Structures are given as C-alpha cells and as structure tokens.
Amino acid sequence: MRATKKQTPETLPDDVEALKKIIAGQADIISRKDSIISFKEQRITILEEFVRLHKLKTFTASTEKSTDQQEMFNEAELSVIAEEILTEQEAEREAQSNTTVDKLKQKPGRKPLPDSLPRIRIEHRVAESDNVCDCGCQRIEIGEVTSEQLDIIPAKVQVIVNVRKKYACQHCESGVITAALPAQPIPKSNASPGLLAHVAIAKYQDGLPLHRQEATLNRSGVEIPRNTLANWMSKSGELTQLLINLLEDKLLAYPVMHCDETTLQVLKEPDKEASQKSYMWVRVGGPPTHPIRLFHYADSRRGEVASALLTGYNGYLQTDDYAGYNTVCAENSIIQLGCWAHARRKFIEAQKAAAGKTKRTGKADVAVRHIAKLYAIEKRIKPLSPAEKHAVRQTESQPILADLHQWLDKTLHHTLPKGLLGKALSYLAKNWTKLTVYTQDGRLSIDNNPAENAIRPFVIGRKNWLFSASVRGAKSSANLYGLIETAKANGLEPYAYLRYVFKALPQASTVDEIEALLPWNVNQESIVIK
C-alpha cells in the first residue's frame, strides 16, 4: 500500500469540496486497513486451529470420542430417548439384555478354555509317605481338584508321499497303466493344499511377510526360498478366480453395496515407477445371510475403474465423498449414499481444535450431539428387520435430521469457510442428500463402515509386507484377501476353508461343483481338521 502524505492544518485546502475528497480518501484507507486486519485475524484463527489439531494428532491417542462431559450428555440423551420411544416389548427385551451384560460383568478373570479343544489328563497323587494321618491311618481318596492350562505344540511339518501303483498284464506284458494322481492346486509342485493355506493365512490374515515365513520354515529344517513362496501365492490366487467370479455375480445381484479404496505400491508395474501408487479397491455387499467381501487391484483411482467394477449393477452404493463414483452412478441410475462417519469425523476434528478456547458449547458440539442421536437410534434398531428399521427411521431419525438441517442453514454462512468447522459444515451441506438416503430403506447403513472394516486387514498387512512385487502378485493377493474376508464374514475359520478350497477346487469341473465351494454352502464341521 502506497504511503500518503500526512496532512496538517496548514496544508489543508480551504475549499470544502477538496476537504470532502481528502476525508473520503482517508476513510477508504481506514476501511482497507480494517479489511486487511480482519483477513489476517481470520487467517490466524484458521492456523491456530490446524496447529491445535496437529498437536492432538501427534501427541494424543487417536480417537474420535468426545470429552467426558460430552459423553455424559450423550448418555443422558440416550436414556431420554429410550424412555420416550421404546415400546413395552422393546423395553423388556432391553432389560433382559442389560441383565445378561451385568451378569457377564460380574465374572471377572480369565475365560474358560473352549470345550472343543482336546484334553490330556495328568493325575497328581500324594506320596505314600505323606499320605499318613496324624493318627497313623492311611488316607483314602475322596475326590479331586482340577485346573486347566493351555498348551501349544509348534506346527507339525510332515511329508505326504503320494504312491501311484502301476499295473501290467502278465501275459502280453504290455499296456502298463499307472494310478492317476488327483488334481493338485499347483501341478508339478511339492506344495500341498494345507501348506498353501498356511502361507496364505500367515500373510493375508496375520500380516506375516514371506521372508519371515521363510525363516520360520528354515527353523523346522525346510528350506523354501521366498520367491518360491511368492510364486505359490500368485498361482493360488489365480486358482480361485472361478470362485471369485461366482462371488462377484452374487455381489452385483444384491441391490446394496459399499465401496472403498486404499493405496498399494507395486514395484514392477508397466509404465510406472516403483515409487508411484496403485490402488486396492474393496466391494462389500450380498444379502445379510450371505455376506461378500471382494478386493480388486487397479493401477489408478480413476473413474473408469469404478465403472468397470459396477458394470451391470443397479441399486444403492455407499461410499465416501470420492467423485470417481459419480459418473458411473449417474449413467446407471445407481443411488448414492453418503457416510455419516466421515461427516462426524470432520466435526470431531473441529471440536478438538476448538478445545481450550472457550468453555461454552461450540457449534461443532451441536452437530456432534445431533449425529450421536442418529447413531443411538441405529444401535438400538440393529437387531430389527429392514421393515422395522425403516419405520423407526421415519418416525425418529427424520425429525433429528430436520433439526440438524435447519441448524446447518443458519450456521453455514456465519462461519469461516476455510476453518475446520467451515469445512465440516460445507461437507455436510454438499452431501446432505446422500447422507439422508439411508432412511429410505431398512437394508441401508448409516455409514460406510462395512467397507472400511473389510479393507482394514489389508491396510494392517500392508504395514508389514509393504508392497507387491508384480501386477500378477497384486491381483492374486486381491483374490485371496477377498476369499479370506468372505469366509470370515460367513463364520468360517479361514485356514480350514482355504485348505478345503485348495483341495477341492482343482477337481471341480462344473459350475455346480464350484458353487458348492462358496462359503455359505460349506459346513464348518466338515472342513475342520481332525
């Protein structure tokens, strides 16, 4: 700003109009200075928020829980809601549930060991010399006291010897035949279905990198290079492709789906540097009795990937606010849902950043309280049928949403748009329609947590094995992750299921035989290793 010459009484003009111009000029300068000061104050406020939030993320535990006072408020709210809304039958059911929880809480200490585990009985007797009473008589056995210890025997490594008998004619000594070897998961390999399942579960379920598994096998006297283990996993993932295709058909047929994506590094990817990021996509869906979790590797996060994954799908799609889904949803009449967990997270960040500035209830607190009421309803109606959920949402959730939207309209234009609260309000306003769709159908969820929970094992495993060496390995990893997570969602023990699939799938030759291997068609007891 150009400096102006200071006016003194001697230098002021006598002309009134000239004096008016000078006064107007000075007022304009003051106004511009006030604008600059106001802008800088707003900038300082925004930066202070980011500094407070950064300190909280760096030096405190990562959680989205509010303060103790806020939690007390929520508990009081839940009590009022429960008293005003619950029917007598629901109240009785909740009382029974609380009684069960209280009984469990009254039993502290270790839990009993599962009855399904084998027991080895070891009897301890008193030495004869110590079993003489003070009166000189020999004591007799009148009972016993038992206690249990959990024992673990390291993994048993064994060699399966396949003996194929040969047969020949005694008379002509021709036409020698040999008994056929059953189809194997990896032909001409010494890896059994059990070994392949063990390696897959160790990596994709337990997050144990192949180089550590190599060292573990070496301690058992078995030398298997990690590149051999990697090749086995690639071929195992390829083996399951037919099963994955059937699961995808079932997934696309159900009208509710959740999607999410996260980064993945692939070292040897065509036309890309090793440091560039690729993506692992996850789709979650299927009917409640047959849940499905499928993973898909892609070299980018472009909308074309979302379009390919949703080809032939028609229904509801719940995601975060990623715009890559918008085009395919518009072209295929797919109804998009927003995620209240994402919306709440932004207000929690604003709430944390504002902590300590004032003891008064802030705007972020108001939003968090409204969202807490919505989640309280969802928690209570979780065991209900879709029709019952829809009815409750119409009578209870809709009024809360109406109040929140009215508050949003009043607050949005009176808040700094670039601050944390302003961004939270903008996110809520921009996604309001998507965020309220869940009340239209009882099968829908309030947030995208099903997809985020499904992708979490991959994210945890990625911290250990860090990257995929090749595109082939990444695609196979996606198949194996999907099969393991789907098995878990259907209540199957993942190692037993994979072992069963690797043994039976090579011998399946029809669609019916492959369908029989879908998780919900497999009996848990039939695949347990005796």
pLDDT at 488: 95
Rounded Cα–Cα distance for residues 100 and 102 (Å): 5
pLDDT at 128: 84
* Cα dihedral: 390, 391, 396, 400 (round 10): 40
Helices (H), 112-254: 193-204, 210-219, 226-239, 241-253
Count how many Cα atoms sit within 13 Å of the Cα of residue 130 in the half-sphere of its side chain. Answer: 3
328 exposure class (CB count in 10 Å sphere: 0-12, 13-18, 19+): buried
Residue 505 is classified by DSSP as G
Determine contact, residues 444/438, Cβ cutoff 8 Å. Answer: yes
pLDDT at 355: 60
Place of tokens 């599962």: 114
Residue 273, helix vs strand vs coil: coil
Spans of the chain below 50 pLDDT: 1, 67-92, 95, 101, 104
Phi/psi for 266 (5° steps) reads -120, 120
pLDDT at 67: 44
pLDDT at 395: 96
* Percent of the residues in the chain that have a pLDDT greater than 70, as a whole number: 82
The DSSP bridge pattern shows strands 177-178 and 292-298 to be unpaired
pLDDT at 76: 34
Per-residue pLDDT reduced to its tens digit, 100-145: 545 545 566 778 888 888 899 999 888 888 888 888 888 888 889 9
As a whole number, the mean pLDDT across the chain is 84
Determine contact, residues 316/334, Cβ cutoff 8 Å. Answer: yes
pLDDT at 60: 63
Rounded Cα–Cα distance for residues 504 and 521 (Å): 13
